[in-house]
Chains A and B, each alone.
Chain A
Amino acid sequence: MGGRELKLLESRRLLTLLLAGVFLWSLSTVDWRGPIIHTGGLAAFLDFLASLFPPELSPGFLGLALSASWQTLAYAVAGITLAVLIGFPLGVIASGSVSGSIRTGLGLAVAVRLILAAMRSIHELVWAVLFVAAFGLSSLTVILALALPYSGILGRIYGELFNQVPEGPLRALRASGASPFRVLLYGRLPMALPDMLGYTFYRLECAIRSAAIMSFVGIRGLGYEIQLSLHDLLFDQVWTLLLFMVGMVVLVDMWSSRVRRSLVS
């Protein structure tokens, strides 16, 4: 026992030495002739912070922020809705729990898991670039770009949740003569539903963020307005827009906990 600990300690010291060496070596690549920190940066940062007091609160701008938020929220909700519609059946197949024959079920499950992995391994912005080329700057572009990676994520999680429910009730359903699909309907689904809902709401929050940054490909919404205000160095406007962003996520969070509470009681 003692010998093993000593060995571990030794290898840990060796690692520390190695990392320290790498750090020292990395210093040699720094250009020491100029200042290391951008000296104007602090002033600019303080300037940016100061614009929070107060943010831009004129009725006209608030109206603009509200409609931009609405647009972003609409994209996110539409994208997630489509993702649930695609992800749910794929998740059912990926769980491998509904096929009568084990071999075909397993084969299908592996194939669908690969498809899900492919969908979510490509970032929504990359999908957006592809869809802009196909459909232009339309709502369809945003919704599809969000829906594809999010279906991949939701389908995978749903599949896992279906397989993580306790086995006892499922066994009892089978003993009552229920087919695998009926076991899904009366056992797996109701038992997994609270977690599925919670996770979907969490993904809606993420989708709001993703919808906002669709401005990078030229889609309008909250991110687009932030970009415009930043270009004009109107930091007070940027703050207003960021606060709207945070507000939306907080609202979704509150909605989520309300829905989950009503499901439990």
Chain B
Amino acid sequence: MSMNKSDSDHLLVATGISKSFGRVEALAPLNMTISQGERVALAGPSGSGKTTLLYLLAGIIQPDAGELLLAGQNLARQRPGKEKAGLVGLIHQQYDLVPHLPVLHNVLAGRLGQWSLFRSMISLVWPQDRQVAEEALAQMGIADKIHERTSHLSGGEQQRVAIARLMVQGSRVILADEPVSSLDPVRADDMLEILTALAGGSGRALVASIHSPRLMRKHFTRVIGLREGHLEFDIPAAEVTDRVFERLYDLDQSEAAVWGGGN
């Protein structure tokens, strides 16, 4: 592949990364390259390895084999902290906010990698970088919730808080695990526009797991299809026809594969 092309173009290069949990192979060795400006949709039925791939890209779990370069740096060798937080940020399906804290502190948690320990401590009493949090929340349309206890917010509002936290974190690669799974079609479009804006601009990219071909064609540039941990296809979003999509999610085929694999 074009590994010798300028590194700045390739934001993310995975070479043969794989992951097993016990005897279950969650992800077979996978090669992929994501360049800046790309918006990549991950498709595939439940258990196909989408979340595993996102966690690997986020550095939350380490690959059993292979190498993962982010902006030319090996993620596995990087200790969690400022640099890693500036490279990748993940929105989890459950948003993963601290329910007992006010919204403000959950948003400012995106700064914990940049702040000194002392600043992190006094921020709980005198919020630091308050303006950054206010702007992010205003962009999310929930500026009025800034002092509310996070657990009192609706699911949709909590998702916006999680995105505001990611905004404040300022990561270059935004990873989103099923960001529209609990939203109606209009709000799903809304949410993907927000994520597109967040991952827009130079040197950035978006990777999200999505189940709707309509949303893929509308909001993404490229679609990666996974099935039982294997790469099925990696095509431009415009080429995702309903037939390609149905074949990926076809239940009969997956059952046949399971029985076939058992022999």
Q: Which of A69-77, A88-96, A107-115, A176-184 contacts B (4 or more CB under 8 A)?
A: A176-184
CB-defined contacts of B99 to chain A, threshold 8 Å: 169, 191
Chain B, interface SS category: mixed
Instruction: Kindly state whether residue A173 has any CB partner on chain B within 8 Å.
Output: yes
Interface size on B, residues (CB 8 A): 35
CB-defined contacts of B80 to chain A, threshold 8 Å: 174-175, 177-179
CB-defined contacts of A186 to chain B, threshold 8 Å: 98, 101, 105, 109, 112, 120, 124
CB-defined contacts of A176 to chain B, threshold 8 Å: 85, 89, 109-113, 165, 169
CB-defined contacts of A193 to chain B, threshold 8 Å: 100
Instruction: Kindly state whether residue B193 has any CB partner on chain A within 8 Å.
Output: no
CB-defined contacts of B71 to chain A, threshold 8 Å: none
Say whether, besides A168-B92, A185-B121, A179 and B81 are in contact (CB < 8 Å): yes
Q: Which of B86, B97, B120 is A172 in contact with, Cβ under 8 Å?
A: B97
Chain A: number of interface residues, binned into ranges: 20 to 34
Instruction: Kindly state whether residue B31 has any CB partner on chain A within 8 Å.
Output: no
Closest Cβ of chain A: how far from B93's Cβ, in Å? 9
**Binary interface encoding of chain A residues 175-211 relative to chain B, with 1 for a CB under 8 A from any of its CBs, else 0:** 1111101100111001101100000000000000000
Instruction: Kindly state whether residue A171 has any CB partner on chain B within 8 Å.
Output: yes
Say whether, besides A182-B112, A185-B120, A177 and B98 are in contact (CB < 8 Å): no
Instruction: Kindly state whether residue B212 has any CB partner on chain A within 8 Å.
Output: no
CB-defined contacts of A265 to chain B, threshold 8 Å: 149
Decide if B109 touches A190 in the complex (CB within 8 Å): no
Tell me the residues in window 88-106 of chain A with beta carbons closer than 8 Å to chain B beta carbons: none
Instruction: Kindly state whether residue B84 has any CB partner on chain A within 8 Å.
Output: yes
Q: Which of A173, A175, A194 is B58 in contact with, Cβ under 8 Å?
A: A175
Decide if A181 touches B109 in the complex (CB within 8 Å): no
Instruction: Kindly state whether residue B68 has any CB partner on chain A within 8 Å.
Output: no
Instruction: Kindly state whether residue B90 has any CB partner on chain A within 8 Å.
Output: yes
Closest Cβ of chain B: how far from A89's Cβ, in Å? 14
Tell me the residues in window 138-176 of chain B with beta carbons closer than 8 Å to chain A beta carbons: 149, 162, 165, 169
CB-defined contacts of B60 to chain A, threshold 8 Å: 171, 174-175
What is the bound-complex CA distance between A181 and B80, given in angstroms? 13
CB-defined contacts of A187 to chain B, threshold 8 Å: 98
Closest Cβ of chain B: how far from A147's Cβ, in Å? 26
- List 26 A-B pairs, Cβ < 8 Å: A168-B94, A169-B96, A169-B97, A171-B60, A171-B96, A172-B96, A172-B109, A172-B165, A175-B59, A175-B80, A176-B89, A176-B110, A177-B80, A177-B112, A177-B114, A178-B80, A179-B80, A179-B112, A182-B117, A185-B121, A186-B105, A186-B109, A190-B101, A191-B99, A191-B100, A193-B100
Residues of A whose CB lies within 8 Å of any CB of B are 168-169, 171-179, 181-182, 185-187, 190-191, 193-194, 265
